Amino acid sequence: MTRKTIKVSNITCAQCAKSIETYFDTLDGIDAKVLVTSKKVIFNYDETQYDVDQIANHLRIIGYYPILNSEEQEKAKKRDLIDLILAGILTFPLLWTMFVHLGIKVYVPDFLMNGYVQWAIATPILFYVGRRFFQATYHQIKGRNLGMDTLVVLGTSAAYIFSIYQTLSYTSQAMHQMPDLYFETTAVIIFMVMIGNFFENRVKEKTSNALQSLISLSAKEARVIRDGQEMMLPVDDVKPGDIISVLANEKIGLDGIILKGKSYVDEAMITGEPMPAFKEVGDQVIGSTLNMIETLEIKVTAVGSDTVLANIIQMVEDTALIKPKAQRLADKVAALFVPVVVFISLTVFVLWAFVVNGGYGLSVAFAPAIAVLVISCPCALGLATPTSISVGSGIAFKEGILYKGGEFFEIANKISAIAFDKTGTLTKGHPELSDFLGDKKTLAYSASLEKHSNHPIAKAITDAYEDDYLEVTDFEVMLGKGVKGTINQKEVYVGSPNMLKDLNLVPSAFDYKLYLSQGKTVFFTVVDLEIVNMIAVEDPIKETAKGVITELKKRNITPYMITGDQEITAQYIASILGIEHVFAEVLPHEKAEKILEIQKTGKIVAFVGDGINDAPALKMADVGFAVGSGSDIAIDTSDVTLMSYDLGLVIKAIDLSLATLKNIYLNFFWAFAYNIVMIPLAAYGLLNPSLAGIGMGFSSIMVVLNALSLNLFKFKNIPVEE
């Protein structure tokens, strides 16, 4: 079976996922699994029966638009925009006539009040612009998964059919007086739902392209040594067992084992850890990481889909399939509301036709039955969720919070545990000088020597030094131990405790093990074989981290730490922050397993991370928060992106989502209140169309005004600790 991931432009919700998966279940030799938030479909198929073009055609048959290249991506965006503009242009004149229905004295040209004119305008909106809703409804009905699309089709079609009936049965010669038409309702529902979808798609587009583009992080070529000659080859042409040469400041093309050389390798994109790892002969290296210091010769052990990076991509996709797809509140409502309304309408039809006063006949029974469907038009229901989410998302964006979809708003209130990555999430993700013991004047020796190194710890030392640098000669890197050079004719070393052992020196004046127990990295400066100072470097905790943890505990949300860092460092950071549950030395694929382990205790789990190694956990979690300073893959797989280092945005995102959800519930209350009042009136034949129009307009206006009230929301300030 061949595996292929295809992006689909118009996947918007769990109902879309069900429609696609149900359709492909009916075909032999292929199955489909949908990643809703990333708008992608993973296909496993028999390549003797299908190719990518055939799969794409099947998607088009059921009304979904596959994106196979950037050109199609632009076409899909252009198509959506054209549909939206067309809907807006055609809806405006019909919306103008709604003022007459509402009893507002506004000039409306006579020809716009003509039923046949309105019919002509509404038809392309319903059947061309709204074609996606009919296609989706057809497959929802086949799959017995009624959703918001079904509700839209039901309401718009009922309003359209009833308006045609009114137009054809109208006998007055004054054709411009037709107040009992609902063509504008058909147009407005489609237009408003499309606006909601359009803005949601734009938000998702900003954050959902990174999984495919992750491949661009890897090296495209490798310097392969064959028959004693070096040649640049595409990585696809490199085979396991080949020897590749990687120069300083080059990406390591593929996974392998070092045969010759030693260097520091920056593995932050995979592990998330800020400190480069020292690598020497026999050590394993990961493709796409950065060789920093000296040339390495590496024997390739994995290529293509077998590399660590490729496995992480597949792991993220597979993890997303384990995570249940959140069904939107509107779809849950639609699943119940649609059959109930249809049942009421049919019941009204039967009662009027055969029971009430001996039966009025089919022609009389038709009007109240259709009236029930018309009154049930989901104008307010269609507006309820997108208006609140649009306003909430706008408020969030100003605070530096980017929501990828509406599902988060509906699950945030259930979060009972939040797991944090350590490096770059709870901590700043880059080392800083935390302690200096010894004569401060000797820092000049340390900083002047480290100025010639590109190690992150060197930058931490030089950042803490503000005076003039001394001249250095004979600079040399002692890989894995430190650096040395000559300053003012004195031999100067800056390095780790291992360097002191080589120099046969004992740091008896410094209790460096205390600092090691705090998870700090310790360095010593030696001048002419005399230890003159000790420098401790750490990855500092973010200022808002402790305040966030304290606030979570107040809300009975249990904090966890899941990190690949060593146990001693993780426990020290956790003790400062007050985190009792710690998983340390966890490999990237194990992070998702830890999330699943917490979920099995019955908790709804959020995860906050920033690195490629966090991607599987972000996808496995019920809610994933990506720190915006992190990797593209982390941002792609998350539900919420925090666009600054401020960890307090986690609390703000949750609080705003709760306020937005309450707003959505209140919107549904207004929408249902209207239906509860109007449906019985329609069923009894007592409905005044003008009153219905006023009620429908009032219901929609209340929904919009209620959504705008979210602008009054005030965020809770999280205390900052220096």
Q: List active site positions.
A: 421
Closest CA to 455 of 266, 267, 294, 258: 266
d(CA 32, CA 4): 10
Tokens of residue 666, six digits: 């209140």
Burial class (CB in 10 A: 0-12, 13-18, 19+), 17: buried
d(CA 581, CA 464): 34
Closest CA to 652 of 607, 560, 717, 555: 717
Amino acid at 415: I
- The three-state (H, E, C) secondary structure of 336-359, written as one string: HHHHHHHHHHHHHHHHHHHHHHHC
Neighbours of 397 (CB within 10 A): 13
d(CA 484, CA 482): 7
d(CA 465, CA 51): 61
Tokens of residue 499, six digits: 């360097």
Q: Are 576 and 546 in contact (CB under 8 A)?
A: yes
Neighbours of 473 (CB within 10 A): 9
Q: Which residues contact 304 (CB under 8 A, 6 or more apart)?
A: 236, 310
d(CA 703, CA 382): 10
DSSP assignment of 474-520 equals: EEEEETTTEEEEEETTEEEEEE-HHHHHHTT---TT--HHHHHHTT-
User: Left if phi > 0, otherwise alpha if psi is -120 to 50, otherwise beta: which for 498?
Assistant: alpha
Distances 114 to 176, 224, 267, 697 between C-alpha atoms, Å: 5, 76, 70, 21
Q: Are 66 and 56 in contact (CB under 8 A)?
A: yes
Phi, psi of 275 (to 5 degrees): -85, 125
Distances 572 to 599, 609, 611 between C-alpha atoms, Å: 25, 19, 21
Local structure of 605: helix, strand or coil: strand
Distances 161 to 85, 150, 166, 370, 690 between C-alpha atoms, Å: 24, 16, 9, 8, 18
Q: Which residues contact 499 (CB under 8 A, 6 or more apart)?
A: 478, 481, 482, 493, 524, 526
d(CA 244, CA 300): 7
